[in-house]
Amino acid sequence: MLRVGNKAACLACRNLVSTNMGVRFRVPLQKLHPLSRAIHHRYSGNANPQRPPHRTAARYFTSMSRLPMRPPKPPSGSGGQGHQQQRNFWVASLAARLLKLRYILLGSAVGGGYTAKKTYDEWKEMLPDFSEYNWVIPDFVWELSEQIDLDKLAKALPEMEEIAKLLPDFDKIGENFTFLKSLLSSETSGDPPLKATDSSTSAAQEGSDKQYKKSSDKERVDLLQEELLRTQLKYQRMLERLEKENKELRKVVLQKDDKGIHQRKVKKSLIDLYSEVLDILSDYDANYNTQDHLPRVVVVGDQSAGKTSVLEMIAQARIFPRGSGEMMTRSPVKVTLSEGPHHVAMFKDSGREFDLSKEEDLAALRHEIELRMRKSVKAGQTVSCETISLSVKGPGIQRMVLVDLPGVISTVTAGMASDTKETIFSISKAYMQNPNAIILCIQDGSVDAERSIVTDLVSQMDPQGKRTIFVLTKVDLAEKNLASPNRIQQIVEGKLFPMKALGYFAVVTGKGSSGESIDSIKDYEEEFFQNSRLLKDGMLKAHQVTTKNLSLAVSDCFWKMVRESVEQQADVFKASRFNLETEWKNNYPRLRELDRNELFEKAKNEILDEVISLSQVTPQHWEAILQKKLWERVSTHVIENIYLPAAQTMDSGTFNTTVDIKLKQWTDKQLPHKALEVAWETLQEEFARFMAEYKGKDQDDIFDKLKEAVKDESIKRHKWNERAMDSLRVIQHNALEDRSITDKPQWDAAIQFMEETLQSRLKDTESVIGDMVGPGWRQRWLNWMNRTPDQHIRNETKNELERLLKLHDEHTAYLANDEVTTVRKNLEGRGVEVDPVLIKDTWHQLYRRHFLQKALSHCNLCKRGFYYYQRHFVDSELECNDVVLFWRIQRMLVITANTLRQQLTNTEVRRLEKNVKEVLDDFGEDMEKKTHLITGRRVQLAEDLKKVREIQEKLEAFIEALHKEK
């Protein structure tokens, strides 16, 4: 630096600074450029034998030659005239000198500016380019003034003396800059014109100066790097302390807000709004090519690479189940991280909060996650694509949404499904192909990089690395095991793998023990990097290490991606909503837009109304239906197993005894069960009838499958009370034991019942015989029909057996063997070969018809037999015990129908209604069941409309909150 003496400036310099140079104000000499000051002293009156340092520099940066030190003497012999001539050109000489000074000053200014610019450029090139790492710094650093109470922070800050200790040594830095400046603007101390004899000496000296300059430059750069690293560490510790204090202050504020939560409506946080949108999208079956392209952080990596550990460090809690080498993550886990006063976790579909500060709650949370994973995996599979949604809140947690995916494997081991590898690849690709998804690629640093599988997969999905963040885990083991630490530097600089990434990070996730706490892991990680050669030797930068820096970078990148893409996604869903609404208006203009749940509720109300309608059925209707159906069910048994065998007896006493025994056996074993079956079938039929009648009014056919399924399931679940069966058995016993017909109307009713029954049976028997023998001669002539060979044989057999019955009118119900042989031989004599079984079968039907015809004739005779019945058939050849039997059966039917009707109306209808409600409730909770039973384009269109509207509304609310936060 040149120092100006106390002497006054010469007249030329004063004139130079005056109006001739266009300067509007007077400038002191000390404010002039050093080159200008050098020029000034050159032309001052003081003859200084020592040249100022910048004199040579002035000559170098100007193209002017050496200026004369004194004015030239006048030539001898000029005399006074020459002196007068010199005096005449004094003004011109002064002007010429002033013009020369102007050029010297201009040249010096240009040269000095060029020198300063060159010095600044060389100094700037020595510094690294930090513009590529601006994204690493989170938003809250730029917004500290908005988020932190500056008054409280100022009070919490240390004294100036303590801060001064943390600042770098500015004297050393000044010396370094002075040294750099002296190197760039070194000056020679001799005269400018160099002699030829001095050229060799100057060249040698210049070479030695350059070599010394290079070596000293390298030392200075190393010193600067060490000083910069120390400064960064000091500021980082200070920032961590401030952040910790800020976290405590925010926790106090949030706790105060929680105390007044009941007094106002809870306002959801920004990340919670965004997470709700992602939850809805996960259940949405996209149509019209509307895909979920909203951002989320997708955590991928090889199995046991440390994915889950990194996620736990970001969430600040050991929340995931752990295993030694085995696959633990069997399905995607979506974790929504947000800030809150308490460190808690909660599932999307559960109201329970897990306190992450308590070890028992942590263990319960890990167990619940493992159970949900195993439940989501279908039989015969190893992994599932079903997403488990979990939210974690706590003080100081960075807000973001992460999805932990199953680890990528290279080989399917024993116990795994054969398609496990392909399934994991497909799940990973499905999440990573989202163009707005941030890929957090986890690589195990303790194993050879060539064994990694996930890097190739990530390179395929994001070849340019525009949304990938690479994380190298287990760096402590890598530094210990690797012979060449430069390999780690190549990895974090992106030179070893073929993949590209936005940023590269190195982290330590503990010593490998499952019992380590998050705080102990953080302390171990910080201690490792403070003592690590990787950071000291410059292989890793300070911003590339620790999971804390990683979480800040990932959160910042996540929200940057959200802000860039969320409005575009909202527009996409808006267009999809317009398309869906247009389709509904065109196809279903007069119908309300009811989704599957709303349609189910409508169908549920209709079904319950139909069940309640059963209580409106009259008792007479119930009893008539029950009596008719019960007789249809038991009539065959009564005729074939009770009436016909008893009718074969010779006297009335044996007849009544046989009837009593068979009725008792029938009542003990079969009759109550048959009655309850009839009652249950009657209830079903009436239920179905009411549903069908309701359908005829305003019923929507979209409910048919659901109603049928509800009816079948309700019937399947319904069981009649066993006590009711026991009481019904007693009632039937008492009814069948009563033989006293009290009046003539009851007798006539029994006669009518018996006659209708016998006529019905006779008609059925005639039909069976007609099918056996084929058409008669009239049908054959009129309808051109012929008998089959079998029918011809049966017809011949029938004719032969009818002749036998005419000869023996009182024949028993069964043929004797000799009678069978006689009939077969008679038929063979007419050329008809017949089997004995066919003869007996034909005889059964013929005798049945013969018996029924005789019974009908006897029934007509008994119409006048009530008088003889009252006298117990004394002195009368007429015996009507069969009428009494049918009266007993009829009375049992009436009493049973009345009992069943009471049980139906008082108990079973209510139980059916309860069963229907339970079935409907079960179906309502089973979404898969509802999807199967309520189907159709109309339903799917309403479902899509509801989902798209909900997604759009959630996105708009989120975007509004996002703008407010900005």
Rounded Cα gap, residues 308 and 314, in angstroms: 10
Residue type, 135: W
Q: In this predicted model, what pLDDT tens digit does every residue of 97-132 receive, in sequence order?
A: 655 555 565 565 556 666 666 666 666 666 555 555
DSSP 70: S
Task: Say whether pLDDT at 737 is over 50.
Answer: yes
Task: Say whether pLDDT at 747 is over 70.
Answer: yes
pLDDT of residue 113: 61
Rg (CA), the chain: 55
- Residue 617's nearest CA partner among 387, 314, 906, 423 is 906
Task: Say whether pLDDT at 822 is over 50.
Answer: yes
pLDDT of residue 738: 87
Task: Say whether pLDDT at 211 is over 70.
Answer: no
- How large is the average pLDDT for residues 240-268? 56
* Residue 786 pLDDT level (bands cut at 50, 70, 90): confident
* Residue 888 pLDDT level (bands cut at 50, 70, 90): very high
Residue type, 758: L
Q: Which residues pair with 292 in a beta bridge?
A: none
- How large is the average pLDDT for residues 767-786? 80
pLDDT of residue 595: 87
Which span out of 61-75, 278-292, 466-480 was modeled with the highest average pLDDT?
466-480
pLDDT of residue 66: 37
**DSSP result, 922-962:** HHHH-HHHHHHHS-SHHHHHHHHHHHHHHHHHHHHHHHHHH
Q: In this predicted model, what pLDDT tens digit does every residue of 294-348 receive, in sequence order?
A: 888 999 988 888 888 888 888 888 888 876 556 678 889 999 888 888 889 999 8
pLDDT of residue 85: 46
Rounded Cα gap, residues 358 and 355, in angstroms: 6
Lowest mean pLDDT among 246-250, 441-445, 474-478, 951-955: 246-250
In terms of pLDDT, which residue wins out, 1 or 746? Answer: 746
| Tokens at 727, concatenated | 């009481």
Indicate the average pLDDT of the chain: 75
State the chain's maximal CA–CA distance in angstroms: 206
Task: Give me the torsion for CA of 26, 27, 28, 29, rounded to 10°.
Answer: -120
* Residue 37 pLDDT level (bands cut at 50, 70, 90): very low
- How large is the average pLDDT for residues 794-803? 88
Which span out of 37-46, 523-532, 657-666, 711-720 was modeled with the highest average pLDDT?
657-666
pLDDT of residue 143: 55
* Residue 193 pLDDT level (bands cut at 50, 70, 90): very low
CB 939 within 8 A of CB 595: yes
**DSSP result, 318-342:** --S---SSS----S-EEEEEEE-SS
Q: Which residues pair with 417 in a beta bridge?
A: none
Give percent of the chain above pLDDT 70. Answer: 70
- Residue 706's nearest CA partner among 696, 691, 719 is 691
Exposed e or buried b per residue across 649-660, where buried means at least 16 C-beta atoms within 10 angstroms of its C-beta:
eeeeeebbebbb
Lowest mean pLDDT among 186-190, 219-223, 288-292, 828-832: 186-190
Lowest mean pLDDT among 223-227, 789-793, 821-825, 958-962: 223-227
- Residue 936's nearest CA partner among 637, 592, 701, 670 is 701
Close Cβ partners of 135 (under 8 Å, ≥ 6 residues apart): 502, 503, 553, 556, 557, 560
Task: Say whether pLDDT at 288 is over 80.
Answer: no
Close Cβ partners of 241 (under 8 Å, ≥ 6 residues apart): none
Give percent of the chain above pLDDT 90. Answer: 8
* Residue 892 pLDDT level (bands cut at 50, 70, 90): very high
CB 418 within 8 A of CB 279: no
pLDDT of residue 38: 36
pLDDT of residue 703: 85
- Residue 398's nearest CA partner among 335, 347, 475, 469 is 335
Task: Say whether pLDDT at 36 is over 60.
Answer: no
CB 111 within 8 A of CB 35: yes
Rounded Cα gap, residues 153 and 140, in angstroms: 15
